[in-house]
C-alpha cells in the first residue's frame, strides 16, 4: 500500500480517525492549529530559502503577516493571541539562530521510500522540512508548533525521524557509512528548543518493522477509536461513537427516558463516591476510638462492629521456586501481571513496547460504564 507519514501518524494517534480521513475520505475544515502551523512552516521556509542575503527579522515578520489567515479563528481575541504567538516564535527564532550561518541542502523535500519485501512491499511518502549540511555530516530537521514537548527519550525513539533518515539515506546511500554523524532533530518552535538524536542501523530496521506491523493492522481493517487529548482537535467528533452522543441535539435520537437514565446514573455514581469517602472517614474514627479504648468490638443501637486483622504476605521468590520446581508446580504459579507490565511499559523502548502489544491476546471482554463529571 501507499501511505504518507502523516496518515500513518494519524493511525497511530487514532485508527478510527484514520478510517474517516483516509478510507471514507470525509473532509473536515482545517483546524486553526493546522492553519497556524502551516503559516509558521511557510515562514521558516522563507527564512531559509537560499539567496544572496538571508531575510531580516522584519522581512520574516512581514512574510508571516502577509500569509496570516484571520478567518479561521473564533474571536478577534483568539486571533490576536495566535498572531502574537507567531510573531514571538519568529523573534525568538532569530534570537537563537542566524539564518546566514546554516548550509541548507534542501527545504520541504518530498520523498517516497519503499519498505518491506515480496508481497509485503509498501511505499511511504512525506515531506522533510529541512536538511542542513553540518561540519561533519548532515542534520534533518522537522519543525513542530505543538504546545507539548516530548522527553529526550521519546526523540531518541521517534519513528518520524527514523523514517526521515531512511528517506535521506535513500537519496544519499553512501552516508550510511557516516550514520553516527547524521543528526535528526525536532525543533519545537513555541518553546524555542531543538531536540536532537542520531540513529543506528539496528534502530532503522526496527522502525521499518514497526511500520510494517502498523500497515498490517490497517490492512486487517482494525479501526478502533482511541480517546486521547487529541480528540479536542478532531473534526470527526460528530461521527465518532465516543463523542457523537454529545451532538444528539443535531441528530434527534434521544428520548426523554434515556436522558433521565443518564442523569440518574451520574448522580448515583457520584453519591457512591461520596459514600465511599465518608465510610473511609468513619472507619478511621472508629479504629482510632478502639485503639484509644483498647477494645476490639463496639456496640451501637443498630448492631456491632468488630475489628478483624487481615494480613497480606509476600514470599521469598527463590525459596518458593526451589520448593515448587522439583514438584513441577512452579509454572502454575507464574503469571504475567498486567498491571505491573503496564507500569513499566512507558520506560521501555518503542520497539519492545510494540513487541509486548503483539504478544497479548484478548482474554475476556466485558463492557462497563465510567463517569466523567463535567
Ligand atoms: S474523536 Fe477522538 S476517538 Fe473519535 S475519531 Fe477523533 S480522535 Fe478518534
Q: What is the CATH number of the domain that holds 6?
A: 3.90.320
- CB 236 within 8 Å of CB 20: yes
Within the chain, strands assigned E span 2-4, 103-115, 122-133, 138-144, 182-188, 193-197, 297-300, 303-306
pTM flag (> 0.85): no
DSSP-assigned states of every residue in 73-104: SSSHHHHHHHHHHHHHHHHHHHHH--GGG-EE
Q: How many CB atoms lie within 10 A of CB 128?
A: 23
Residue ending a domain, choose from 167, 201, 233: 233
Q: Is the CB of 199 under 6 A from ligand 1?
A: no
Residues 227 and 296 in one domain: no
Angle among Cα 179, 180, 181 to the nearest 5 degrees reads 90
Task: Report whether residue 298 contacts ligand 1, using a CB cutoff of 6 Å.
Answer: no
Give distance in angstroms: CA of 72 to centre of ligand 1.
Answer: 21
Examine residue 50 and state whether it is found in any structural domain, yes or no: yes
User: Does 34 lie in the same domain as 125?
Assistant: yes
Number of folded domains that form the chain? 2
Q: Are residues 281 and 199 in the same domain?
A: no
pLDDT at 346: 77
Among the listed ranges 58-72, 158-172, 293-307, 310-324, which one has the minimum average pLDDT value? Answer: 310-324
- Among 137-141, 148-152, 240-244, 247-251, name the one with the lowest average pLDDT: 247-251
Cβ of residue 231 lying under 6 Å from some atom of ligand 1: yes
Mean pLDDT, the chain, integer: 90
Highest mean pLDDT among 124-128, 243-247, 315-319: 124-128
Residues 228, 262, single domain; the answer is: no
- At 253, the pLDDT band (50, 70, 90 cuts) reads low
Residues 260, 209 within the same domain: no
- Regarding the beta carbon of 227 and ligand 1, being less than 6 Å apart is answered yes
Instruction: Summarize the confidence of residues 135-144 as an average pLDDT.
Output: 96
Distance 117 CA to ligand 1 centre (A): 32
pLDDT mean over 234-239:
93
Classify residue 368: in a domain, yes or no.
no
Average pLDDT over residues 252-259: 72
Claim to verify: residue 228 and residue 353 sit in the same structural domain: no
pLDDT attached to residue 249: 65
Do 189 and 40 reside in the same domain of the chain?
A: yes
Show which of 233, 266, 299 is a domain's final residue.
233
Task: Please check whether residues 30 and 168 belong to one and the same domain.
Answer: yes
Local confidence band at 252 (pLDDT 50, 70, 90 cut-offs):
low
Average pLDDT over residues 146-153: 91
* Same domain for 151 and 184: yes
For the chain, give the percent of residues with pLDDT over 70. 98
CB count, 10 Å around CB of 183?
20
**Cβ–Cβ under 8 Å, residues 163 and 124:** yes
Looking at residue 250, its pLDDT comes to 54
pLDDT at res. 338: 77
Residue ranges making up the domain that contains 281: 256-358
CB contact at 8 A, 22 and 223:
no
Pairing, β 122-133 against β 2-4: parallel
Phi, psi of 272 (to 5 degrees): -65, -40
Same domain? 299 vs 180: no
| Model confidence at 218: pLDDT above 80 | yes
Lowest-pLDDT range, 194-198, 314-318, 368-372?
368-372
Determine the residue of 226, 233, 235, 245 to mutate for testing ligand 1's pocket, defined as the one with the most ligand atoms within 8 A of the Cβ atom.
Answer: 226
In a domain, 369, yes or no: no
User: Do both 197 and 48 map to the same domain?
Assistant: yes
- Let me know if residue 373 belongs to a domain: no
Q: Residue 254 pLDDT > 80, yes or no?
A: no
Are both 52 and 162 inside the same structural domain?
yes
Residue 277 domain-assigned? Answer: yes
Ligand 1 nearest atom to the CA of residue 236, by list position: 6
d(CA 120, CA 316): 48
15: Cβ below 6 Å to ligand 1? Answer: no
Amino acid at each position: 500500500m501507499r501511505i504518507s507519514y502523516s496518515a500513518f501518524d494519524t493511525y497511530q494517534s487514532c485508527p478510527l480517525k484514520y478510517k474517516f480521513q483516509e478510507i471514507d475520505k470525509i473532509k473536515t475544515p482545517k483546524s486553526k492549529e493546522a492553519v497556524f502551523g502551516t503559516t509558521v512552516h511557510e515562514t521558516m521556509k522563507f527564512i531559509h530559502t537560499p539567496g544572496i542575503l538571508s531575510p531580516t527579522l522584519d522581512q520574516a515578520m512581514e512574510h508571516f503577516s502577509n500569509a496570516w489567515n484571520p478567518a479561521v479563528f473564533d474571536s478577534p481575541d483568539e486571533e490576536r493571541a495566535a498572531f502574537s504567538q507567531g510573531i514571538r516564535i519568529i523573534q525568538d527564532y532569530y534570537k537563537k539562530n542566524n539564518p546566514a550561518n546554516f548550509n541548507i541542502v534542501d527545504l520541504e523535500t518530498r520523498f517516497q521510500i519503499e519498505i518491506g519485501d515480496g508481497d509485503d512491499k509498501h511505499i511511504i511518502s512525506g515531506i522533510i522540512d529541512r536538511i542542513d549540511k553540518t561540519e561533519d555530516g548532515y542534520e534533518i530537521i522537522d519543525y513542530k508548533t505543538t504546545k507539548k514537548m516530548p522527553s529526550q527519550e521519546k526523540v531518541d525513539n521517534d519513528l518520524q525521524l527514523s523514517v526521515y533518515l531512511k528517506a535521506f539515506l535513500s537519496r544519499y546511500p553512501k552516508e550510511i557509512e557516516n550514520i553516527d554523524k547524521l543528526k535528526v532533530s525536532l525543533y519545537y518552535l513555541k518553546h524555542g528548543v531543538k531536540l536532537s538524536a542520531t540513529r543506528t542501523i539496528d534502530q532503522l530496521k526496527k522502525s521499518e518493522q514497526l511500520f510494517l506491523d502498523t500497515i498490517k493492522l490497517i490492512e486487517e481493517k482494525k479501526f478502533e477509536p482511541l480517546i486521547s487529548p487529541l480528540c479536542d482537535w478532531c473534526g470527526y467528533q460528530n461521527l465518532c461513537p465516543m463523542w457523537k452522543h454529545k451532538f444528539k441535539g443535531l441528530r434527534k435520537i434521544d428520548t426523554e427516558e434515556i436522558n433521565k437514565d443518564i442523569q440518574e446514573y451520574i448522580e448515583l455514581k457520584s453519591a457512591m463516591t461520596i459514600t465511599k469517602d465518608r465510610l473511609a472517614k468513619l472507619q478511621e474514627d472508629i479504629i482510632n476510638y478502639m485503639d484509644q479504648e483498647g477494645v476490639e468490638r463496639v456496640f451501637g443501637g443498630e448492631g456491632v462492629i468488630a475489628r478483624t486483622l487481615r494480613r497480606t504476605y509476600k514470599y521469598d521468590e527463590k525459596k518458593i521456586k526451589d520448593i515448587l520446581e522439583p514438584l513441577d508446580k512452579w509454572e502454575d504459579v507464574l503469571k504475567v501481571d498486567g498491571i505491573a507490565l503496564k507500569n513499566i511499559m512507558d520506560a521501555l523502548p518503542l520497539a519492545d513496547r510494540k513487541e509486548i502489544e503483539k504478544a497479548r491476546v484478548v482474554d475476556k471482554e466485558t463492557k462497563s460504564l465510567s463517569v466523567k463529571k463535567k
